[in-house]
Structure 1
Amino acid sequence: MKLPKAVLALADGSTFSGISIGASGGANGEIVFNTSMTGYQEILTDPSYAKQIVTLTYPHIGNTGINSEDVESEKIWSSGLVIKDLPICTSNWRKEEDLSKFLYSKGTVAISNIDTRRLTKLIREKGAQSAAIIAGENASKNKAISLAKEFKGLSGLDLAKEVTTKQSYEWKEGEWRKEETKKRFKVVALDFGIKKNILRILYQRGCEVIVLPAKSDLKEILELNPSGIFLSNGPGDPEPCNYAIDTIKKLMDISIPIFGICLGHQLLSLALGGKTEKMKFGHHGGNHPVKDVNSNKVFITSQNHGFTVSEDSLPQEVEITHRSLFDGTIQGIRHSKQPFFGFQGHPEASPGPQDINYLFGNFIKDMESFIA
């Protein structure tokens, strides 16, 4: 059987020809590479990957198929997927469908049978750039290059308002195979692109969790009488999210515990007076070493971000708590006098290691002190 063709093009004119393993059509976005060996299902359904074409550097992707329990949201947010090889057979007792059918059913374009090592090296040397995949019989290099150039990048793009929930809701699911815990705290989670596993962990640690849309104001939040505020992960540039930054500033005025991760960490930093900047190719993967500055311990973490907090911009009362051992960039901050802290990576993993999930425990301790 002849498989449909596909073309990947970068805005600089680089092209890769392969075969289509997803839906027909075209899509563009910023191309990034992710070094995770597995967890492709969680990556594709993570809202943080909106407007990004994900290249997975591990050569064999799709081995374990897809199941309905491991999704991090109800849709694929990534603009497209790039892999080296899609195995003919999948093998996992939890498998419900294969990766190709999943991509097709969600309308996501994807390309395989290309040299992902060459592509990764290109991204690493030239930086993340706009790209496009065109899949189907009408795929051509010229069309793909034109489509890639139409995407103007993530800088200045507020994507949180596009991926956030439209309605508030209460989350009532804990981690697998763990007993129900008594709920001692009420956490309001502002959804800038939140993942399900974050909510599971908060719920499992004794939190009643209410998820609110990204543009919720102070009045809506305080009416719920929260013990703490969680600022979620999410896609895009944090600086255009003025609505969120203003709300966070007002929340800080009442000294309520605040914990932000990923985009939430960046928004917290902006509310504290810092600035953010675009990275060359970002951090994307499940094997990023991060040092806890206070303990000197090193933790392997899951990461997905293309922006970082500018160190020189932080006010004196903000302490740096974690640093990347890849490039020294800021990975964590904490206010020296108030219960506000953030972490750049993903302590909830999914996929990836859970070394750093003690941060959820730190949030619990802050809330214990707040309600005492």
Structure 2
Amino acid sequence: MVSDLLERLSRLPLRDNLRGLEPYGAPQLDVPILLNVNENTHPLPAEVHQAIVAEVSAAAMGLNRYPDREFTELRERLAGYLGHGLQAENIWAGNGSNEVLQQILQAFGGPGRTVMGFPPTYSMYPLLASGTDTAYLAGVRSADFGLTADDAARQVREQAPNLVFLCSPNNPTGTALGLDVVEAVYAAGEASSTIVIVDEAYAEFAHTGTPSALSLLPGRERLIVSRTMSKAFALAGARLGYLAAAPEVCDALRLVRLPYHLSAVTQATANAALKHVGALLANVEDIKGQRDRIVEELTRMGLKPAASDSNFVFFGGLEDPRRIWQGLLEAGVLVRDVGIPGHLRVTAGTEAETTAFLVRLEELLTGGGATAGRS
């Protein structure tokens, strides 16, 4: 079936740089506990749900008209939420942070231009590069998947990319970058006028005191900080991502965005959620507690979890991660095999979901299941 589809696809006049590629896709399986795509597994608080229903209902009365092309109220609310002296003119939004990143590449990338990432990192970066015909340059991390300021800056100076993705907290490892890395990469890209994008999709889950690259925006017109409402705000299904940058960056994105790209329903949903930040971030604190619990328990089991500033935990020490993945799935728990030898990644869910994962994993590791194995 797959080979037949690929053969038929090959007969189309597809762009050369897209031939042989596979679309992004995490397994979408019907199991009780989904801990594989870093969703916020907590349901929306009742007050937020009610507010969204009311706002969307009001917006529905005007669906015969195009929405506010400049999503003015939403930009004002997002600026207020982020703080750091940001104004509406500093904010841009799209249908998920992936669309925002795509628009950045449409404006600043393209044929003959390059974007650098530092794998293992978010798997969409090279796909977004291919989709915009931007060459992807894979940087190098240390053996422990870390990235120092000196090493990152050296690679940027050597490669002189047009754009750089810095994922912080990084996906799939979960660790946040120090601001020294961002500053060093920005300075190293001065000669090549490199756009530096700090992808902070999981920023709200960071440990207390972890700084945001938002604090570095003043005076840095080539710096962009992207965020999402999919994770901390539990709005993955609403598709709302955004960024903060110099006003001229937002003006550049207006050149490539589709007309009226944010629907009235999307704007209403996001505005309603932003009126109830406190209720939504209360769930974030619970998720952070479960994440820290996972790190502690995996360490006790003899595994090697990475320090996490996100809502997931990347862990190693597995002799056969695929068999562990399968054993968890058979128990109704879906985690993510990110393709890194000896490692898996698990989202921090509710207390009950986290308990189910930990109990079954320990059974597998201690011989209670047929897929036990540690290195």
TM-score, length of structure 1 as denominator length: 0.28
Structure-2-length-normalised TM-score: 0.28
Greater strand share, 1 or 2? 1
Whose helix proportion is higher, 1 or 2? Answer: 2
